[in-house]
Structure formats: C-alpha cells, structure tokens
Structure 1
Amino acid sequence: MTHTASPDIARNARPYLYGGEEAAITSALSAGQYNHGAVTDKFEQRVAAFLGVPDVVAVSSGAAALHVGLLAAGVGPGHEVLVPSFTFCASVQAIVATGARPRFIEVNPGTGCVEPAEVLAALTPDTRVVMPVLYGGRAVDLAPARLSLDEQGVTVVEDAAQAFGSWQGERRVGTTGVVTCFSFGPIKNLTCGLGGAIVPRTPQEADTCRRLRGLGIVESSARRAEMTTYMVDGFGMRVQMSPLNAAVGLVQLDHFAEAESRRRSLWRAYATALDGIDGVALVDADVDRTVPPMCAVRVLDGCRDRVFRELRNRGIGVGVHYPPNHTQPAFSTWHRPLPATERLGREIMTLPFHQHLTPTDAQHAAAELRRALLRASR
C-alpha cells in the first residue's frame, strides 16, 4: 500500500508545542512585566539546574547570545575570530558586530563541524576567540587544541544554537568550561518563540553579560524599583529575554525528555530509511549523544539542485543549511579559499525534521529522495 505523507512533511521545520504554552503566556501577560521579570529569572535558574551549571544569562535571541558572549570574552576591533564558513550567517554577523573580523575555516564534510587540526592551522597572532559551531547539535571537542589555545590566550565561545540538550562525553553541552551560546528560536530543540542564553565561565563574566544585555545598567530591574537612581558603567544593548518568551521556555523544559527521545527516534528512522540509497551520504550527527534539530544529507555527483527542486515539487519540505558564508557579498572582505566547504555547500540538503513527523514520514521522504536521485541521474 502506498503511504500518503502527512501535510507536515511539506515543511522543513516546525515548532512543536506541548499544550501548556498558551496558559503560561496568559499568566505572564497578566503579571504585567514584559521586558524582564521574575519569569525570566526562573527560566535562567531552571536552565542552569538542567545543565548543572552555576548560572545562565537569558537574552532575546541566539544571535544576541553570540554577540554578548563575544563581548564578554573581550572581543573587539583589531581581534580575529576563527569561525567555520559553514554556519548560519548569524554566527558571522555577531563577530562583525563586535568590530572584530572573522577568519573562516574548513569543516569535516562528514559532520559539518570543525576539527582541532583546522583550528590550530588557522591561528594567527590576532586570534582572540575560536567559535566552533555545533552543526546538527553535534558537540565539538577541541580538547586536543586547548593547551595551545590557552597558551596563546585564545578563548572558546561555542555557537551551540542547535545543540541544547546534547552531550559531550559525560556532560551536557554548556558544562565543559567554555562560553556557550544557545538559541531558543522557533524551530530549536527547546523553543521560547524567540530567545537565547549564554553559559558564562565565572560570576564576573555573568555580571558582564547581564550588563551588556541591559543597556549597561549595573543594578537589576528589581533593585532599580527600590532606588531613586541607577548607574550605567559601560556599553550595553537592549536584548533581554521577555517573560512572555521565558514562560514558553519553562513549559518546553518540562517536556524536554520527550523532545530528546522523539528527535533521536526520528533521526534514526531517517538513517535506516536512507541506508543503501546510492548518491546520498548522511551527515553524522553522533545521535547517541546528540539531540538532533535536523537531518542533513550530502547529495553527491553534482545533482543537489535538481533533486532539491524535484522534492519541493513533490511536496517534500527539504532545505539547505547552509550556503557558505565566505562566498557571501557581505563577508567578501574576509574571503579565503575553502574547497571542502565550497563542495559541501553544493551538496548539503536537509530533510523535513520536526516532532510532528513520524518514522513513516521519514520512510516516505527517503523513498521520494531515492526516486528523485534516479531521475536526476538519467
């Protein structure tokens, strides 16, 4: 019997709600604190407890988390930040916003992630930060490079936008002693609607992050309510997380075990269905330790664009994550040849992946991919 795919398979990604989010937003609206409030503080505390870290600083988006995290790590004009070209442009825009310059580096095409050897080979005297991007939620272990990085005073700021809940060894991403930046955007493993967070390394760094997100004001909003003045001691932005978004995140966090299980199950269903299909290679998400936000494949033999169009026409919501940044006009000043990344950019394609989908949907998408590959090869 032919399987008729659910309408959800026409979407590459989609937020998943558990049912309590609407009531949580209504309660937050009734409280009347929309900029920063007790619900945001509670969300920070709950995320910190989930990860097992002393503190978490919530902000308005994943991009804001990267910007604040870089500034808190001391990045500014004249500095260089190593970053893979193969990432969402937000990673690069956050670097540019600090006044620093990106230095693009290669990734392993099999994982989409940077390797320690590439990091060490790309270091220059101006390098201040390395920003590994945890593509597909997969942890990046830079331990073999850490001694050299520490000796040169280079900080690691993780772009873990896709990796909330994933593991590095026996510890969750965010607990390995580096500055870690998460996104809680619409289609992430845990959504706040919009939002992000930084895991700081020290109490002092946490204070810096809170001042940067809150216009440089030293005192908390609760403390200012009891004062007749306040102090601004440096640069800051207005990138706090609203209690409305934090309320959604708290409900999502209550159900995270379900998200973890269902996302791994769907990824494994794709891996089984894709096994043996010629002309396609699954990007390895290390799913036993990863909470995957996507399922990415490489379409080989130069036919990605034809396969992409064919699948879209067949109602399969494929996507491309991501076009390389070193080829973008906005970042042409920092272009350098990256042949592995350029090839990956021509091959990468993401299959429909969100919690509304079932293993049967994954089988249907894989079958359509097989047919599209056969037609493209004729």
Structure 2
Amino acid sequence: MTLTRPDARRNASPYLYGREAAAVARVLEAGQYGHTAITAEFERRIAARLGVPDAVAVTSGTAALHSALLVTGIGPGDEVIVPSMTFCATVQAIRAVGATPRFVDVDPATMCVTPQLVMEAVTDATAAVLPVLFGGRAVDLGPIREALTERDIVVIEDAAHAFGSRDSTRAVGAEGTALTCFSFGPIKNLTCGQGGAVIPRRPEEADAVRRLRLLGVAQSQSERAEITTYQVEDFGLRYQLSAINAAIGLAQLDRFDDTVCARRRLWYAYRNALAELKGVTLVDVDPDRAVPHLCQVRVPHRDQVFAHLRARNIGVGVHYPPNHIQPAFARWRCHLPATERVGREILSLPFHQHLTEADVHHVVTALGRALKTTRGM
C-alpha cells in the first residue's frame, strides 16, 4: 500500500472534488480566467473567516512573503531574523528583496522559534522578524512585541502551514500586529491549486499589495475596462490570483470545518499509535488549537528508516533540510545546534485528510519494524 497523496486521491470518492470541478467549470464557461469578482469573493470570505477587514490574494505563499517584505520597506542592508528550519522559499523571499537572512535556532519540541531565541538574535541591523508557523502551530511573540515595536522591527508571519490555526488568544492572522502570509498551494490544508494571501495590518498596506500584485497599476482590472488609459505608479509584479484558483479555494472553504476535524482526528490517531514505539519523539503542533499540516517524528538512523519505509511504499518525507547549511545560503552559515540535531532526525509521516485510521496504524506498524531493523546500526 502506497500512502502518498496522489494514490489516496485516486482511491477517494469520485464525488469528493465535484464541488471544485463545478466551480472551475463555471469560470471556464464564463470565459474570464484572470482576477475577477470570483477572486474578490475569495478575499472577502478569507477576511470574514479571520474576522479582519481585508485579505489580499496573490499567486502563492512565496509571493505573499515577497510582497509583505516589499511593502514594509525591507531591503538591502536590512537583516531579517528567520528560522533555518523552514522551506527554502522563506529564505528566497528575503533574498529577493536584497535583505540578509539572520538564521536562528528553534525549540526542538515544536520546530518553532521562541521569543527568547528571537531577542537573542536581534542586532542594530534587524528590520524584521519572520517566524515560521511550522506544521500549523501558532507562534506567539506577544512577550516581546513591545520590545520589537520600540526598535521599529516589523513582524511578518510565514503562516503557510497555519490557515485556521490559533494561539492562546487569537486566530492566526487576526490580531493585526503582524503581516500574516498564507499559502494555498497544492498540499496545504486549504488549497486553491496554487495561491496565497497577505493579511495586512492597515488599509494602506492592503492598497500597496494590491498595486504591487498588478504590476504597479493604480486602477483595478474592472476600472481599467471602463477607461482608455491607466497609471503605473510604482514597481510591480504579476501576482494576481486567477479566478480559476479562487474558485477552487471558495469550494474548499465551504467544507474547511470538515478538513479541520479530519486533520485533528488523524493527528491524534498518530499520537496514540506512536505512544507504543520507543525512541520516537512526536513533534508537537498544539493540535487543540492548530490545524495540523504535518505529522512529524524524530527518529534515530533517520536516513535508513526513511529508505526502509520508502522501499515498502510508505510515503514518508523530510520537511525540511535546514537552510543555513544549504550552498545557496553559505554566506550566512552559523552554528544552530538544535536545528542541526533535529535536521538529522525529522521524518514526516503520510498525513492528509483522506487517510483513514487504519492507514495510520499501517504506517506506525511499518515504522516500528523499520526501527527494529535499523536499531543495531
């Protein structure tokens, strides 16, 4: 049995994606595939779910990070504090604006930064902090918010994994003290097929992201249809979310509460089953408040365990190789002991809402056999 996302979806009910298929068909029939009223409706629905005034949809989570960095003025000469334990897209967005990544360690129990780790990394050159809400877990920087504000340091949340998650007081994206960047990519809890969004702190930030995503043009697409010219006011990029992708997102939003329940139920099933295995540490995503995006364990002899499971059609993975040891970022390499240790141990187990609890037990049983096989190494 191959427990990978493509196989699980092939075996799923043929009616599972009927709502998405119908939504895309309506867009295709209308003949308008770019940024349309469908995109605007998706933005309104996202904002309403979060309880915020505005959400600005863009083409991807990476585009959201890049846009947030640009509109807050982060650029050459600025340092951005960022955990090394993240997908490389986070760091590439920092490099795209000419800023310098200042890598920090993580709490190995959660794979997330802590307020203390952030403050220990702050320098006179620090212009932004970019916490990564790893696996869906919210990161609460409340204890240092005032200190960051006093230093004029902006917080931009990489919430690519965390749509729908909460911390102890708020929904991710809802507080308004940080710019929050979501991804709605192919494997996210809420998918548009491809997409992302920036949750701005203020109306002027929303306006700036909207101009940026439309190549710096001041007029919206609907406004341009009624006039004979338009104004290009600033630098811009083609970061609009298409109506096709927005239609998929709207259909997904209609049953997002079911997705939340399914992901939490499966994460708890993993936790209960893994309790029987010695030498396995489950990474805590705070599932009572988070919408789990990953289910990860730390295991000895990770590479051998990985190979053993893949050979038996168990779709495990590694999220992520630490960035501070990547060749592209060698200039900023530093010693991060916790990140380097967990980087050798982490293993992502198959995890998506189309799994069953029987699948979970199959994976854990196979993991137990792999651990026994590699124990003598």
RMSD, matched Cα: 1.3
User: Does residue 1:253 correspond to 2:253, yes or no?
Assistant: yes
Which residue is equivalent to 1:237? Answer: 237
CA contact (8 A) 1:191 1:252 kept: yes
Aligned equivalents of 2:144, 2:364: Cα separation in 1: 38
Which residue is equivalent to 2:101? Answer: 102
C-alpha distance after superposition, 1:192-229 (max 9, x if no partner): 00000000000000000001111001111111111111
Which residue is equivalent to 2:328? Answer: 330
Which residue is equivalent to 2:151? Answer: 152
Helix, strand or coil at the partner of 1:172: coil
Which residue is equivalent to 2:40? Answer: 41
Aligned equivalents of 1:283, 1:13: Cα separation in 2: 26
Helix, strand or coil at the partner of 2:160: coil
Which residue is equivalent to 2:80? Answer: 81
1:208 to 1:56, Cα distance in 2 relative to 1, 3 A? same
C-alpha distance after superposition, 1:291-346 (max 9, x if no partner): 0111011113xx00000000111111000000000111111111111111111110
Which residue is equivalent to 1:31? Answer: 30
CA contact (8 A) 1:63 1:91 kept: yes
Q: How does 1:2-17 map to 2 (within 5 A)?
A: 5=1, 7=2, 9-11=3-5
Helix, strand or coil at the partner of 2:211: helix
Deviating more after overlay: 60-69 vs 171-180: 171-180
Helix, strand or coil at the partner of 1:167: coil
TM-score between both structures, scaled by the size of structure 2: 0.96
Compute the displacement of 1:284 (Å). Answer: 0.3
CA contact (8 A) 2:8 2:355 kept: no
Compute the displacement of 1:361 (Å). Answer: 0.8
Counterpart residue identity of residue 142, structure 1 = L
Compute the displacement of 1:153 (Å). Answer: 0.2
Which residue is equivalent to 2:339? Answer: 341
Aligned equivalents of 1:12, 1:135: Cα separation in 2: 23
Counterpart residue identity of residue 328, structure 1 = Q
Compute the displacement of 1:171 (Å). Answer: 2.1
> Which one of the candidate residues 355, 358, 363 is aligned to 1:360?
358
C-alpha distance after superposition, 1:83-115 (max 9, x if no partner): 000000000000000111111000001000000
User: Does residue 1:132 correspond to 2:131, yes or no?
Assistant: yes
CA contact (8 A) 2:262 2:353 kept: yes
C-alpha distance after superposition, 1:107-127 (max 9, x if no partner): 001000000001000001111
Compute the displacement of 1:14 (Å). Answer: 6.9
Counterpart residue identity of residue 272, structure 2 = T
Q: How does 1:153-172 map to 2 (within 5 A)?
A: 153-172=152-171
Which residue is equivalent to 2:226? Answer: 226
Aligned equivalents of 1:235, 1:290: Cα separation in 2: 36
Counterpart residue identity of residue 296, structure 1 = Q
Helix, strand or coil at the partner of 1:20: helix
Helix, strand or coil at the partner of 1:250: helix
Aligned equivalents of 2:113, 2:295: Cα separation in 1: 18
Which residue is equivalent to 2:182? Answer: 182
Which residue is equivalent to 1:295? Answer: 295
1:165 to 1:13, Cα distance in 2 relative to 1, 3 A? farther
Helix, strand or coil at the partner of 1:168: coil
Aligned equivalents of 1:144, 1:336: Cα separation in 2: 26
Which 5+ residue runs of structure 2 have no aligned equivalent?
A: none
Helix, strand or coil at the partner of 2:63: helix
Counterpart residue identity of residue 284, structure 1 = D
CA contact (8 A) 1:11 1:316 kept: no
Aligned equivalents of 2:121, 2:67: Cα separation in 1: 24
Aligned equivalents of 2:212, 2:32: Cα separation in 1: 20
Compute the displacement of 1:276 (Å). Answer: 3.0
CA contact (8 A) 1:11 1:318 kept: no
Aligned equivalents of 1:125, 1:92: Cα separation in 2: 20
Counterpart residue identity of residue 371, structure 1 = R
CA contact (8 A) 1:12 1:352 kept: no
1:12 to 1:91, Cα distance in 2 relative to 1, 3 A? farther
Identity %: 59
Compute the displacement of 1:145 (Å). Answer: 1.1
> Which one of the candidate residues 299, 317, 320 is aligned to 1:319?
317
RCO higher in structure (CA 8 A, sep ≥6): 1
1:160 to 1:336, Cα distance in 2 relative to 1, 3 A? same
Compute the displacement of 1:31 (Å). Answer: 1.9
Helix, strand or coil at the partner of 2:288: coil
User: Does residue 1:21 correspond to 2:20, yes or no?
Assistant: yes
C-alpha distance after superposition, 1:135-155 (max 9, x if no partner): 000000001111110010001
Compute the displacement of 1:19 (Å). Answer: 2.2
Which residue is equivalent to 1:60? Answer: 59
Counterpart residue identity of residue 144, structure 1 = P
Compute the displacement of 1:13 (Å). Answer: 9.5
Which residue is equivalent to 1:50? Answer: 49
Compute the displacement of 1:12 (Å). Answer: 8.9
1:153 to 1:12, Cα distance in 2 relative to 1, 3 A? farther
Count of aligned positions:
370
User: Does residue 1:280 correspond to 2:260, yes or no?
Assistant: no
C-alpha distance after superposition, 1:32-88 (max 9, x if no partner): 222211100000001100111000000000100000011111111111110000000
After the TM superposition, which parts of structure 1 deviate over 2 Å for at least 4 consecutive aligned residues?
10-19
